[in-house]
Structure 1
Amino acid sequence: MPEFGVEKDLEVYNKLLDVFPKEVFAARNFIQSMFNHYPRQQECAVAVLEQMESYGITPNSQTRFLLLQIFGANSHPTRKYQRLMYWFPRFKHTNPFPVPAEIPSDPVDLARLCLQRIAPDGNSQVTVYQMPSTEECEDGTMREHTHLVGIQSPDQISLLSSHDPSLPVLVEGPFPLWLKKTCVYYYVLRADPVPSENQEEVVDHERCLYYPLSLDLELERDLGDDDSFDVDDVEEGPIFAMCMTGSGDERTLGMWIRGLQVASPVLTRTPVLFRLSSGPRELGPAAEREREPQGEEEEPEKRRMEQ
């Protein structure tokens, strides 16, 4: 069905169920219902309903009529249909950030949709720095320009304007983002966390030799009542902007940085470090050989560009 593009067509699923002969597999008494009358045929119909469930297809009244006519009211396919009709309407509108049914095929529209979903602020503004196009060079070769779409909120602009120019900013990525079966990659512009001068060191009295050990027990509580858990506080630097592009090289990302300098002139005096990963690769012997060090010919992972 995915090969022919009909995996989300409800009418096709009803046609598949209509292939079963009518009133042949239905149980005539409670003993046949108890011993799973015609099990292979019921398993086949349940598999069809499970595929509808995996693709999010809600059955209709015709599906119910076919199941009752083929297997009866006490069969496993009919019970599967009842469960689908019970849970699907309840979970249909529970997601506050629903994904559109049709993912846009245009890379600019897709990047705009993805950036708006992961933006921290609803007032964030999407800017298209470059549209996909083809340019003919002087030597007759054709150069393709990929799309470049960025997003930045007013709070991020003010945060970047107050950044210390002596401290570098980092361009990191690519980071994956999945929308249904579509995977896209985005890049972030951030800075390292600034250590607080007024932060006092927290001393654990139970693990310090300079303080007396104390034991505080609540006798009314059982050991099974302790539902607390440890959380590691990881300090992360501020995120100034995000972007999506079809080519994650330094030249394209440098164009993004130059576009951000219009709203934040502090970037003209701030060093920019590119911390780019190689992205996803296919695992195998060839990939393992590529990951071996090449000596002096290996390029460094981090490059610095001062503007």
Structure 2
Amino acid sequence: MWDIVRPVMRYISPTRVQIILKCVNDLKTVEHTPKLWNGINRYFHNSHVFMTINDDEKDKKLAIFDAARRQKKEKSTFLDVIYTYVHEDQRKTGHVSFIYTALRYMDEFGVNEDLDVYKQILDTMPKGRYIATTLFQAEMMHYPREQQCIIDLLQKMEDNAVIPDPEMEDMIINICGKYSFPLRKLRRMAYWQTKFKNLNPWPNPRPLPSDSLELAKLAIRKIATVDVQSTVTVYNTKDIPESIDKTWIVSASSPDQEKLIARHPKDVAAYVEGPYRIWISKASVDYFILRTDVLKPYYKDDQDNDDVSNLDISLWNQAKKKIATYRSIHEQDEQIILGICATGTSSKDSLLSWIRCLQTRNPALLTIPILFKFIGPVDDQQKIGPGEVQIDDPNELSEVETQDKITS
């Protein structure tokens, strides 16, 4: 979308304001000047020169929120500020400045995904004043500064995936009329956002939980859906006597992965690799994988079973010598995924505890050498078990000797 660059509102000195007011009063007294007066009024209301406001104008209402910032930043405090502004006096001014200031503080107060708060902010605009009376006024964006302010409010709603309701549509009709630009944007949002709302196969709860354990469960379940037989297990390192980090571990594995671990050669190393990042809405979670290299290339069947242009009739051809088995989803071309996990500290000691937890269901891990490979910085805080090699370079491999040193 192209960015439209519009001029900033120009301020007039007090001396020039007095001159303009004197000229306007003189024009009122002259006969046959209603058309000229209407033209001046239309210029000040519809000109794009006065459409936007600069940062100084937006900062005028910052003082209203300064006192609220010292209190508890929650929805009730934010609504109290709106209530104070609405009931401060009968003749209110600075609606646009107040709305822009409120939009700036919504993220700080945690109300940027609340539809009721958006409606309370929109309700501060006066009703009926900005309604266009002619088609020409409607297409020339009657009161452009106020309409652009409402459009910016709707844009913030769209950025936070907040869908407007019919009540908000009635509010905009009462403020700007049924031919205004904000109403067009609201109806576009109501049409498209409802279509995109349920397209995500991994729907996220709203509001998103702030607990890191719950976020890790959502992330691991999202990754584990590649195999319908995968199960998610939560471990506590307090149950492991050798652990140093007292934290949680969210692990996912499937029966196919357990079979792959059981068939894995004892003289070939497996790797704990990470951290990788996955996003759950606006929150990110670091996770690790237990993988191994592919020992031999897989059989690739590039034939499309639905293609009937080249039918293979086994009666006319020779029998195949071997039967190729299909590989599981965990056996990729470059690597074999044996397990995934997310820990509360993402440290090497917590990953070592994860391997010990997997050994209860996979005894083959007691004899398989495990190597740790970190592709990013890991906050280990020197928490390394006895017999384990210290890692100074994140790209360096550290070998954890099996059975004797892992379980020591």
Bin of the TM-score, shorter chain as denominator length: 0.7 to 0.9
The CA distance in 1 between the partners of 2:397 and 2:277, in whole Å, is 20
For residue 247 of structure 2, the aligned residue among 132, 146, 159 is 146
Q: Which structure 2 residues correspond to residues 20-99 of structure 1 after superposition, within 5 A?
A: 20-99=125-204
Aligned to 1:103: 208
Secondary structure of 1:6 counterpart: coil
The CA distance in 2 between the partners of 1:197 and 1:36, in whole Å, is 64
The CA distance in 2 between the partners of 1:250 and 1:180, in whole Å, is 27
Q: CA RMSD in A?
A: 2.5
The CA distance in 2 between the partners of 1:70 and 1:197, in whole Å, is 66
Aligned to 1:190: 291
Q: Would the aligned equivalents of 1:107 and 1:147 in 2 still touch at CA under 8 Å? A: no
Q: What fraction of aligned residue pairs are identical, expressed as a percent?
A: 36
Higher relative contact order (CA 8 A, sep 6+): 1
Aligned to 2:344: 246
Per-residue CA deviation, residues 54-86 of structure 1 (Å, 9 max, x unaligned), is 111121222111111111111100101111111
Give the deviation of 1:242 after TM superposition.
Answer: 0.6
The CA distance in 1 between the partners of 2:139 and 2:356, in whole Å, is 72
Q: Would the aligned equivalents of 2:219 and 2:279 in 1 still touch at CA under 8 Å? A: no
For residue 266 of structure 1, the aligned residue among 341, 355, 364 is 364
Give the deviation of 1:52 after TM superposition.
Answer: 1.0
Change (3 A) 1:262 1:131: closer
Aligned to 2:234: 128
1:15 lines up with 2:110 in the alignment: no
The CA distance in 2 between the partners of 1:113 and 1:34, in whole Å, is 47
Aligned to 1:167: 268
User: TM-score scaled to structure 1, two decimals?
Assistant: 0.75
Aligned to 1:306: 401
- Read off the aligned partner of 1:109 and give its amino acid letter: E
Give the deviation of 1:236 after TM superposition.
Answer: 1.4
**Structure 2 unmatched ranges of 5 or more:** 1-105, 301-331, 380-390, 403-408
The CA distance in 1 between the partners of 2:392 and 2:400, in whole Å, is 19
Change (3 A) 1:278 1:85: closer
Change (3 A) 1:22 1:196: closer
Per-residue CA deviation, residues 76-116 of structure 1 (Å, 9 max, x unaligned), is 00101111111122222222221121333333333222111
Q: Would the aligned equivalents of 1:277 and 1:301 in 2 still touch at CA under 8 Å? A: no
Change (3 A) 1:182 1:42: same
Aligned to 1:202: none
The CA distance in 2 between the partners of 1:112 and 1:198, in whole Å, is 35
Give the deviation of 1:189 after TM superposition.
Answer: 0.2
The CA distance in 2 between the partners of 1:66 and 1:197, in whole Å, is 62
Secondary structure of 1:171 counterpart: strand
Give the deviation of 1:129 after TM superposition.
Answer: 2.2
Give the deviation of 1:196 after TM superposition.
Answer: 3.1
The CA distance in 2 between the partners of 1:23 and 1:247, in whole Å, is 56
The CA distance in 1 between the partners of 2:170 and 2:235, in whole Å, is 55
Secondary structure of 2:258 counterpart: helix
The CA distance in 2 between the partners of 1:235 and 1:144, in whole Å, is 35
The CA distance in 1 between the partners of 2:171 and 2:298, in whole Å, is 72
1:158 lines up with 2:259 in the alignment: yes
Give the deviation of 1:305 after TM superposition.
Answer: 1.0
Q: Would the aligned equivalents of 1:171 and 1:272 in 2 still touch at CA under 8 Å? A: yes
Q: Would the aligned equivalents of 2:291 and 2:339 in 1 still touch at CA under 8 Å? A: yes
Matched residues, number: 250
Q: Would the aligned equivalents of 1:58 and 1:88 in 2 still touch at CA under 8 Å? A: yes
1:277 lines up with 2:378 in the alignment: no
Give the deviation of 1:127 after TM superposition.
Answer: 2.0
Change (3 A) 1:241 1:150: same
1:235 lines up with 2:333 in the alignment: yes
Change (3 A) 1:105 1:17: closer
Moved over 6 A (4+): none
Q: Would the aligned equivalents of 2:370 and 2:399 in 1 still touch at CA under 8 Å? A: yes
Change (3 A) 1:2 1:34: same
Change (3 A) 1:41 1:183: same
Per-residue CA deviation, residues 117-147 of structure 1 (Å, 9 max, x unaligned), is 10121221222221679x9xxxxxxx75121
Change (3 A) 1:198 1:254: same
Aligned to 2:84: none
Secondary structure of 2:108 counterpart: coil
**Structure 1 unmatched ranges of 5 or more:** 136-142, 200-233, 282-296
Q: Going by fraction, where is helix more abundant, 1 or 2?
A: 2
Give the deviation of 1:280 after TM superposition.
Answer: 8.2
Q: Would the aligned equivalents of 1:151 and 1:242 in 2 still touch at CA under 8 Å? A: yes
The CA distance in 1 between the partners of 2:231 and 2:212, in whole Å, is 18
